Amino acid sequence: MPESSVVKASAQSGAVAGDGQPVGAVLEAAIRQKTAKIGVIGLGYVGLPLIRTFVAAGFRTLGFDVDPQKIRKLKAGQSYIEHIPARWIDQCVREGSFTPTADMSRMAEADALLICVPTPLNKSRDPDLIYVEATARDIAAHLRPGQLVVLESTTYPGTTRDVVLPILEARGLALGREFFLAYSPEREDPGNPDFTAGNIPKVVGASEAVSRELAVQLYRQGMPEVIPVTSYEIAEACKILENSYRAINIALVNELKMLFDRMGIDVWEVIEAAKTKPFGFQAFYPGPGLGGHCIPIDPFYLTWLARCHGMTTRFIELAGEINTQMPSYVVQRLTEALNERSKPLHGSKVGVLGVAYKKDVDDARESPAFVLIELLRKGGAEVTYNDPHIPCLPRTRHFCLSLESAPLTAEYLAGQDCILIATDHSAYDYEFIVRHAPLVVDTRNATKNVRLGREKICKA
């Protein structure tokens, strides 16, 4: 970006700071000189890594969250996210490069405010923007000239323009002259050792030039590649496309898994063979259902938006139906496996291994394990679980399961009628599990390398 681009655009706006310089140019200079203070709202699996990225780039940061327990832990130098080290938090808090707070009035101190709050679905599977709207109102209450606001929360195209912008404009400041607004979708992948917030290309969209250029300049300080697009809606739709693509392809292999099971074909071996093709094929893998903060939710933003425009998104809706039924299919397979051993599901002891939504993380958001446990309990099973990353089941919007992780001992495994592998954590010794468990239902192909005791393994 030419150094004069923001200066020129801001100069045309007529909005000036106390020293007579355009407020956009003042903010650009602060970003370039790394004297700008960055505020991140929502200190979860997206916000905290973003804080870490900007601290590493040399910025001072403010972290906002409405959860007082999170703020207390952070101020004490403690981490509640496994891949964010407590020693890093402690050092940053002591040095002043990261200040966690629940005081929303301090938003006025930040030069850039990045919104990383949840965007769940309501009971009718429509977008629930309660957290985005509340955050926008908090920002509006303290908005001052010269601030950049960026929404990072995944949402449907139109949210930034139709929901966030009117709330901020109600403050009386003018977009592009006195304050600036952009959208940049988060692309965090918890537990991925190769890609973090600091090395994933960043898409940035805004509908007027100064906001777009300022947001691009900000993210270029911490990210290796920034891709500007011409509107909020392009950037919002970009994220929806990415996750709809994944949801549809996962639904395809889930459906093929159910078909191939009937035919006696190992879908995992089929995928391994197909992925040897060096072009035209990308491997996706079946599982017990979708989990995480994006893929189970984001495509439904698009189906809702399509209904608002008098259309139906048949691919996405069908994929949602297939992926949503996978926990029921797994329980059906587990029940059949028990029946083959003359045991009913009712009264059987079932140990669920792994409640995180993916391997090697402590993130249980939207995990299919919650649905599996509920279905098993409804069938009369006595359910326990083990997860080395999640010592007790967290309360969610839809589930309140009071369970603590059981020790994974030989005695525990032998005492279950069935072990259900829901998440294939690397910490598990699958040979040990198969050796001691009377029956193993494997939804992740985690036992593929186990040689002894294969007669006890049922893939589901």
Q: Which domains does the chain have, with CATH numbers?
A: 5-230 (3.40.50.720), 245-459 (3.40.50.720)
- pLDDT(2) > 50: no
SS3 386: strand
CB 330 within 8 A of CB 372: yes
Q: Say which residue the tokens 């993380």 belong to.
A: 361
**Which of 20-24, 143-147, 263-267 has the weakest average pLDDT?**
20-24
The pTM for the full model equals 0.91
Cα–Cα distances (Å) from 85 to 78, 80, 103, in that order, read 8, 9, 24
Residues 332/262, Cβ–Cβ less than 8 Å: no
**pLDDT (mean) for 305-325:** 93
What would the DSSP string read from start to end of 439-456?
A: -EEESS-TTTT--TTGGG
User: For residue range 159-169, what is the model confidence (pLDDT) as tens digits?
Assistant: 999 999 999 99
Is residue 196 pLDDT above 90, yes or no? no
pLDDT, residue 3, reads 47
Average pLDDT over residues 164-187: 97
Mean pLDDT computed over 71-99: 96
Is residue 173 pLDDT above 50, yes or no?
A: yes
- When pLDDT is cut at 50, 70 and 90, the band that residue 189 belongs to is confident
17: confidence class by pLDDT, cuts 50, 70, 90: low
Q: Would you say 34 and 28 are in contact if contact means Cβ atoms under 8 Å apart?
A: no
Average model confidence (pLDDT) across the chain: 93
**Nearest C-alpha neighbor of 154 from the set 186, 107, 198, 131:** 186
pLDDT over threshold 70, residue 1:
no
pLDDT at 398: 75
Q: List b or e across 242-270, with b for residues whose CB sees 16 or more CB atoms inside 10 angstroms.
A: bbbebbbebbebbbebbebbeeeeebbee
pLDDT given for residue 16 in this prediction: 63
DSSP class of residue 312? Answer: -
Percent of the chain with pLDDT over 70: 96
Under DSSP, the state recorded for 77 is T
Average pLDDT for 133-137: 98
Share of the chain above pLDDT 90, in %: 85
- Provide the pLDDT for residue 399: 79
pLDDT over threshold 60, residue 214: yes
Minimum mean pLDDT among 117-126, 204-213, 364-373, 402-411: which range? 117-126
Q: Is the pLDDT confidence value at 336 over 60?
A: yes
d(CA 428, CA 408): 9
Q: How confident is the model at residue 126 (pLDDT cuts 50, 70, 90)?
A: confident
- Express each pLDDT in 390-443 by its tens digit: 999 988 777 778 899 999 999 999 999 999 999 999 999 999 999 999 999 999
Confidence check: pLDDT of 454 > 50: yes
Q: What integer pLDDT is reported at residue 65 of this predicted model?
A: 98
**Taking residues 366-387, what's their average pLDDT?**
96
C-alpha span between 418 and 406 (Å, rounded): 15
Which positions are catalytic?
A: 294
